[in-house]
Structure 1
Amino acid sequence: MWNRKKLAVVIAAALSTGTVAVMACGPFFPLQVLDNRAATLAATPSNSFAYEAAHLVKAGDTLKAIESPSNTWDDAPAVNPDQPDQASLPPAQWQALQAMRQAPSDEQAYALGRQLPPALRLYTTGAVDLLAAHVCGASGEDCGRTPEALQALAIDRFQAVLALPAEQAAPRAVWAAYALARLHAARSAPGAADASAERALALAAFAQVRSLALAGAPDPWGMAVGSYGEQARLYLSTAEQRCDYTDFMNSTTCASAIAPADLKQALALYAEQAARGSDSAVQSLRMIAEWLLRDGSPAAAMVDDPLSQQLLVAYSLALMGDIVNDDPNSATDYLANADNTGQLGYADAAQGYKGVSANPMLQRLVAAISQNGVQQVAGADRLAALAYRLSDYRLAQALVDKQPGVLASWVRAKLALRRGDSEAAVQAYAEAAQGFPTLDSSIEPGEAGRLKAEQAVLSLSRGDYLQALDQFYKSGYAEDLYYVAERVLTLEELKAYVDEHVPASPIPPKPADFSSFSAEQFSTWRGQQQGLTFTQADQLRSLLARRMVRQGQIDQALGYFPDDGDPRNTEIGYDYETNTSTLVAMTPRGWAKAYVDARHDGESDWFATDRAEAWFTAANLARQHGMEIMGYQQGPDFAEFGGAYTYGTGRQSWQGIRDDSTPVPRDTPQQRAAADLPGPLVTADERDRYAASEAKPAQTFHYRYVAVALAEKAADNLPARSQAFAAMLCRAASFVQNDQPRANAVYQRYVREGAAVPFAEDFGRHCVEPDFIAAGHFTYVQAWRATRHWVHQHLYVPVGVLLILGAGIVAWRVRRARAAS
């Protein structure tokens, strides 16, 4: 529509994002639809404006837009217009072509191009003339010819290109027609001599650009699609002047004076351009739609045109908000108000919240369209969505009752939910999702996942937990999937689903020298691979494996962990001692195997110290690798973030107090379930399942407490006065050193039962390794020491015993001697 560099500065809003109801707070946290279920199900379905603008019409040919990115504040780098020909031209011809571009006059340029093909020679000479006309006109210098004369020369050269036989003209035919069209367009400005004739010539030339491109003439710069936008500008004029983007932004008299018929023509051309992938056309449509709705009266004059109707409705759904706290400017506050139901409380999601009123501008739009008769409405499903958003449920129902398609069924489901007919809503959602993920064009691909996720919310509210899991799995809403898998389904239900529907992804091949890779080599290799990440299926299998470990099914869990040899288990770490990057091999299956072996030995070894050592090994594995082998995917461990964040996903309560300012009780699993799962769309059974599946203990990084329990179990198998007993409890306290009450309980046990040791002064901070060998001998050593001590304290007893024994021996021998005599 206008200069793309100017547009880059003017346009700050992103148009590729559709409306969503809710989003978890925090850095990089993905979307969740279960944060507010009522708001999710009440939210208005809609596509992004970029998608809608590109689907106002269907392209009838294969032309595609070629545009440089517009989201830059810097000037675009200089581009050589002849670059596409460099590879096909001999070096001498390429050099001649570049020399022509630098020539100061028509005659010199034409002479320099004598060895070039005719089309290139003629077109480039005309381009030199056109540049000279621009420079001379801007500077006022005497160039030997007037700007008008130079333009006339350029026109002659471009027409000469088009007069060549088609095969000879082809390399520059599109270029020449496009240049002619723009020249005639510039000379058709309101008030110019022969403006009407020049405009007719421009319109014909723009149409010729597209015809030539469709006939096969090269169009490396996308001029054919660009011609739609240039042609549209011819209609954005009044009798006095041609309007530009500032007139629409500022609602000037120029914009309001454009005849509705001309404006409709311009919109139709921009729609054709957008249908062929032009972002510039999307921006132009957005700007005009915003102006039409802002001023109101121009929009009323446009609603009899089907395409204009569709444009205004699409813009309203995607980028127009309601009025918050009586502030008209809030209507364009997209982030807060693109879909007000996303901010509602559970009780009044469908009715709105205090301080919000329907946008009168949108109400007038719907009323104006309706006056033409519902039967003549274009894009009835979109208008139905807008009517639903504006609480005009009767009109919405009338529109979707006669409209097939995904979006219409989606709105029908919303209407059924509003009147409390969940069975009809289930059926409508099923109709909308039929054939997922291949859907009709009434919703964009990204919204297809949203549709499936809403289905899952409804299934969950009805207690269809397995169906909800399946729908979330297919929707791509991973965080909600993990919640249902981890906290709602039983372990047996989850395992059965995974076994049937969730196979592990293939292990990517590794280079032969992978084991010797440096961190830099690994980083380079990983960057060259496609999809070198674990899939959602892999993540769900790992979630199941960790849950099985938590519930004691450790042997069966091993097969659900990723293979230790999978290169996706390799991460780049950092060695702070050497200040170098290193490769870290994550081996969750190996750690889990070592953990189960250690627990087995702790249960079955013959000797107490061997059992203690096994429990100690298990405790260390639980503490060091508990996140990977038994951590909750979401709260309280947040294994999905590696514990870097302890919030942001899942169902942990964001409500710290009630409406009456009293704290929400969280002392029992049931109270925590009630706090984390408020709202009318949660069953009592879901809360019970949530309570039953919570971490034990319900503490952040719960596996650390598991490690403490295992270390204390090891201590149970050690002599209380041994060094190993004290060292074991010291290590247990270190596992939870940030939880002073729990660490202090371990310390108090040591004080009650253990012996004084040198590291007792810094207990739980600096611990020594337990001496299991000494602990194994400790009972015998202690018995010997006790005996020695007792003898030392009671020396008269053994002396008396010896004297009595000696006397007895003497008496026996005397008696024996007498008997012998």
Structure 2
Amino acid sequence: MFTRNWPRHLLCLSLSLPLGSALACGPDFPMRLLDNRSQSLAELPEGSFRFEVSRLGQAIAGLKSVNDALHSGDPAEYAEQREYAEQADLTAPQQELVKRLRGLTDARQVEAEGAGLPKELSLYLAGAVAFNAGEHGLAADYFRQVLALPADQRGLRSTWAAYSLGRALFALSAEADASPDLLAQARKAFEQARQLTIDGFSDPLELGVASLGEEARVARTAGDWNSAIELYAAQNRHGSGVGYTSLKLLVADLVAMPEAQLKPLLEGKAVQQLITASLISRLNWSFGEQPEVERKMIKLLQASTRGSLDNADRLAAMNYQQGDYATAKTFLEHAGDGGLAWWLRAKLALRDGDKAAAVAAYAKAAQAFPQDESWGERRTPDWAFETVEPKCRVEGESAILALQRGDYLQAFDQLYRSKDIYWFDAATVAERVLTVDELKQYVDTQVPAPPALTQQDRDNYVPLPVAAQLRNLLGRRLLREERYDEAVAYFDSDTLQKKAKWYGELRHDAESKWWPSKRAFAYFHAANLARFDGMELLGYEMAPDYATFGGNYSLESTELKVGPLVADEEVKRQQASAAQPDQRYHYRYVANALASQAADHLPQTSQAFAAVLCAATGWSPDQPEKTALYKRYVKEGPYVQWAVSFGEHCPEPDFQNADKRYVTQALSPLRETLRPYKRWLEIGAGVVLAAVVLLLVNRHRRRVRQ
């Protein structure tokens, strides 16, 4: 499904304006179930027409699936494939003769000049030339002659002859105003073509599967829509895209029919199933708009299926999507124990306010849906995309209820099992709802480290496995919570592990070193790491930093408030785990705070003091903080020549020479206090010095006399 707001989306991409209420400009992003929890629980995503029709019809036992490239529909390409197949298993002279005979227009001349060929080849070529010349009766006679040969004499052209006989008879029926007898004969010929393929006769053009579509066309011409649908569905099951495309075209034809003509057709099971598949898939919707003709179709289908037990879960889904919950509930009484039926029961239970019944129904739905069932990709009204794998979606909706009742680990586990489908939701719960110990316990017991990506993979932007993303998330969270030693092992690369270890050592040294310049050194270099490697070491996977996008994009989010699906305890947990400060690129603020602490431990007269504040000013993410840092330098710091470009061009801090400034900085206040009395202090110092000298001279004289 597409949204009616698609022009705004394109405008967003080109002009960098915000789109809707959920997304910022940039690429399309996956849907988040936790954004609007009530909507996620209430809606039933549209299905996939391709998946729905794959449930229709029956595969033919013994008939192999096909290489769909042979059924592209391009006449020139098919002719080339046919010519290649026609030359196979022939000698060079035979190949030349067959190629020449194909260019003739007289079937009898072909038969005569091809007398040197095996009988099946000459007869088939004569029939093919007659067919191309529009002599369908003559062509049919030649194809019957091929099929009348002993089986060991028609190994190469049996399936070709039966398939072509069916086409010739169908063409004859058109000339005879759709003669029922000729249509019936054509169907039998196509059935024979399939059986010959199953029996092992040569079929390089995969005509056995193609015959299903040809027979379906005959059935439709005869007014047998149900057989036509079943045959096209079987063709689709055997891998032919022609079958899938033909079913879409049948839907278009049915929808366009006058009501009087359509009503009796809707009594047929196959027609009902096909129309239902198109409706729950929203096949004919355009940019979020339901066509008016489809509303008419829904009413007719509802009227024709009252009390029907066939396809009950799909009919229930269609009525649920249309808001007819009472009819949906009635169909569900006959829908059995399939995944879709239990999913709908869960949603209806929530509408009735019975959360306990909903939880039980969700559990049964998750168990009933196959792990590999996929409905393909859809678009939400906000243009987010979702790969609908029903089992994952059901568990994701169950997670909403688990969060509401406080089963946080269960909620996380259900979301995490979807891997990248609902990773945004899983990451939100991991870093904002679970405590760090709960998350660590889960990772330690259930998420072993996957093999590391090679450098080539990283250079080619191969995405990290979700397990590695989760472990990185935990490593960053442990660093943020100052559990440095525990954090290192969770990062996915040696480079990040080394940086995480260094960051932890620096933060430890900053608190434990005795000498001030050593502490300042540690604070400053920790700040440097936080600033330039902060996204990888400290960033939140989701808001406010969006490490999941490398910080290149952000998603708008509404304030989490206590409500019917959000408990007070979850709100408190999210508030407690919020970034400090709760600003985008919060780690840059952390870097500035660390740099300021480095300055606190440096002599204000030192170059290092000025250089540290200069660097912090350049790192600062907002103007007020830049101004505050610069004012501190002006008020407290020394004059330096490079101050004219303060915050832009900053030298490395000279921590070693800063040590010399500690004594002069300590004496500086005393010197300032005594400066007005400098003259008198100098005189006093001279008097004291003279007195000391006189005292020493007198003491020396006394010693000499003695």
Q: TM-score range by the shorter chain?
A: 0.7 to 0.9
SS in 2 for 1:434: helix
Where structure 2 has 5 or more consecutive residues not aligned to the other structure, the ranges are: 1-20, 377-386
Checking the alignment, whether the CA contact within 8 Å between 1:123 and 1:172 is kept in structure 2 is yes
Equivalent residue for 1:163?
A: 148
Checking the alignment, whether the CA contact within 8 Å between 2:436 and 2:477 is kept in structure 1 is yes
The one-letter code matched in structure 1 to 2:275 is L
Partners of 1:53 and 1:407 lie apart in 2 by 16
Checking the alignment, whether the CA contact within 8 Å between 1:45 and 1:410 is kept in structure 2 is no
Shift of 1:687: 1.6
**Counterpart selection for 1:318 from 265, 281, 305:** 281
Equivalent residue for 1:403?
A: 335
**Counterpart selection for 1:298 from 261, 266, 271:** 261
Shift of 1:729: 0.8
Residues 715/296 of structure 1: CA separation in 2 closer, same or farther (3 Å cut): farther
- In the alignment, structure 1 residue 63 sits paired with structure 2 residue 64: yes
Residues 23/783 of structure 1: CA separation in 2 closer, same or farther (3 Å cut): closer
Equivalent residue for 2:430?
A: 485
- Superposed, 1:163-242 pairs within 5 Å as 163-189=148-174, 191=176, 195-237=179-221
- In the alignment, structure 1 residue 686 sits paired with structure 2 residue 570: yes
Checking the alignment, whether the CA contact within 8 Å between 2:120 and 2:153 is kept in structure 1 is yes
Partners of 2:678 and 2:293 lie apart in 1 by 96
SS in 1 for 2:173: coil
Checking the alignment, whether the CA contact within 8 Å between 2:546 and 2:553 is kept in structure 1 is yes
Shift of 1:265: 3.1
Checking the alignment, whether the CA contact within 8 Å between 2:375 and 2:390 is kept in structure 1 is no
Residues 441/37 of structure 1: CA separation in 2 closer, same or farther (3 Å cut): closer
Residues 303/541 of structure 1: CA separation in 2 closer, same or farther (3 Å cut): same
Checking the alignment, whether the CA contact within 8 Å between 2:484 and 2:504 is kept in structure 1 is yes
Checking the alignment, whether the CA contact within 8 Å between 1:406 and 1:440 is kept in structure 2 is no
Shift of 1:593: 1.0
Residues 74/772 of structure 1: CA separation in 2 closer, same or farther (3 Å cut): farther
Equivalent residue for 1:262?
A: 224
- In the alignment, structure 1 residue 772 sits paired with structure 2 residue 689: no
Equivalent residue for 1:728?
A: 612
- In the alignment, structure 1 residue 380 sits paired with structure 2 residue 381: no
Partners of 2:72 and 2:140 lie apart in 1 by 34
Shift of 1:643: 0.9
The one-letter code matched in structure 1 to 2:568 is A
- In the alignment, structure 1 residue 423 sits paired with structure 2 residue 375: no
Shift of 1:686: 1.6
Checking the alignment, whether the CA contact within 8 Å between 1:123 and 1:176 is kept in structure 2 is yes
Shift of 1:604: 2.2
Deviates more, 1:419-428 or 1:52-61: 52-61
Residues 36/734 of structure 1: CA separation in 2 closer, same or farther (3 Å cut): same
Shift of 1:461: 2.8
Shift of 1:702: 0.6
Per-residue deviation, residues 496-519 of structure 1 (Å, max 9, x unmatched): 2222222222346x6xxx8xxxxx
SS in 2 for 1:539: helix
Partners of 2:192 and 2:266 lie apart in 1 by 31
Equivalent residue for 1:718?
A: 602
Equivalent residue for 2:285?
A: 333
Residues 70/810 of structure 1: CA separation in 2 closer, same or farther (3 Å cut): farther
- Superposed, 1:363-512 pairs within 5 Å as 363-370=299-306, 374=307, 376-404=308-336, 405-434=338-367, 437-438=370-371, 446-476=389-419, 477-507=422-452
The one-letter code matched in structure 1 to 2:560 is A
Partners of 1:73 and 1:803 lie apart in 2 by 118
SS in 2 for 1:562: coil
Per-residue deviation, residues 305-329 of structure 1 (Å, max 9, x unmatched): 1222212222111116xxxxxxxxx
Per-residue deviation, residues 340-382 of structure 1 (Å, max 9, x unmatched): xxxxxxxxxxxxxxxx999454133212211xxx2x4310111
SS in 2 for 1:680: coil
The one-letter code matched in structure 2 to 1:47 is G
| Higher RCO (CA 8 Å, separation ≥ 6 residues) | 2
Partners of 2:29 and 2:648 lie apart in 1 by 34
Please, what is the CA RMSD of the aligned residues?
Answer: 3.7
Partners of 2:73 and 2:517 lie apart in 1 by 69
**Counterpart selection for 2:488 from 555, 558, 563:** 558
Per-residue deviation, residues 428-486 of structure 1 (Å, max 9, x unmatched): 11111116644899999822222222222222233322111111122342111111112
Shift of 1:86: 6.7
Per-residue deviation, residues 381-413 of structure 1 (Å, max 9, x unmatched): 111122223333333223222332111111111
Equivalent residue for 2:477?
A: 547
The one-letter code matched in structure 1 to 2:285 is D
Equivalent residue for 1:328?
A: none
Residues 813/33 of structure 1: CA separation in 2 closer, same or farther (3 Å cut): closer
Partners of 1:334 and 1:461 lie apart in 2 by 36
SS in 1 for 2:205: coil
Partners of 1:803 and 1:315 lie apart in 2 by 114
% identical equivalent positions? 40
The one-letter code matched in structure 1 to 2:409 is L
Equivalent residue for 2:633?
A: 750
Per-residue deviation, residues 82-115 of structure 1 (Å, max 9, x unmatched): 4357776666665665555456765786788788
- In the alignment, structure 1 residue 622 sits paired with structure 2 residue 515: no
Checking the alignment, whether the CA contact within 8 Å between 1:65 and 1:226 is kept in structure 2 is no
The one-letter code matched in structure 2 to 1:490 is T
Partners of 1:806 and 1:290 lie apart in 2 by 120
Partners of 1:81 and 1:445 lie apart in 2 by 40
- Superposed, 1:580-599 pairs within 5 Å as 587-599=495-507
Residues 310/437 of structure 1: CA separation in 2 closer, same or farther (3 Å cut): closer
The one-letter code matched in structure 2 to 1:622 is A
Partners of 1:198 and 1:73 lie apart in 2 by 28
Equivalent residue for 2:624?
A: 741
Shift of 1:155: 4.0
The one-letter code matched in structure 2 to 1:411 is L
Shift of 1:64: 2.1
TM-score by length of 2: 0.84
Partners of 1:680 and 1:504 lie apart in 2 by 38
Residues 641/687 of structure 1: CA separation in 2 closer, same or farther (3 Å cut): same
TM-score by length of 1: 0.73
Checking the alignment, whether the CA contact within 8 Å between 2:605 and 2:665 is kept in structure 1 is no
Checking the alignment, whether the CA contact within 8 Å between 2:65 and 2:238 is kept in structure 1 is yes
Checking the alignment, whether the CA contact within 8 Å between 2:339 and 2:368 is kept in structure 1 is no
Equivalent residue for 1:701?
A: 585
Shift of 1:549: 1.1
Per-residue deviation, residues 500-543 of structure 1 (Å, max 9, x unmatched): 222222346x6xxx8xxxxxxx479969xxxx642212211111
Checking the alignment, whether the CA contact within 8 Å between 2:402 and 2:411 is kept in structure 1 is yes
Partners of 1:768 and 1:207 lie apart in 2 by 86
Where structure 1 has 5 or more consecutive residues not aligned to the other structure, the ranges are: 1-21, 134-146, 238-258, 321-331, 340-355, 515-521, 565-586, 654-671
Equivalent residue for 1:763?
A: 646
The one-letter code matched in structure 2 to 1:83 is Y
Partners of 2:149 and 2:124 lie apart in 1 by 12
Shift of 1:228: 1.9
Checking the alignment, whether the CA contact within 8 Å between 1:23 and 1:30 is kept in structure 2 is no
Length, aligned pairs only = 666
Deviates more, 1:286-295 or 1:603-612: 286-295
Shift of 1:129: 4.9
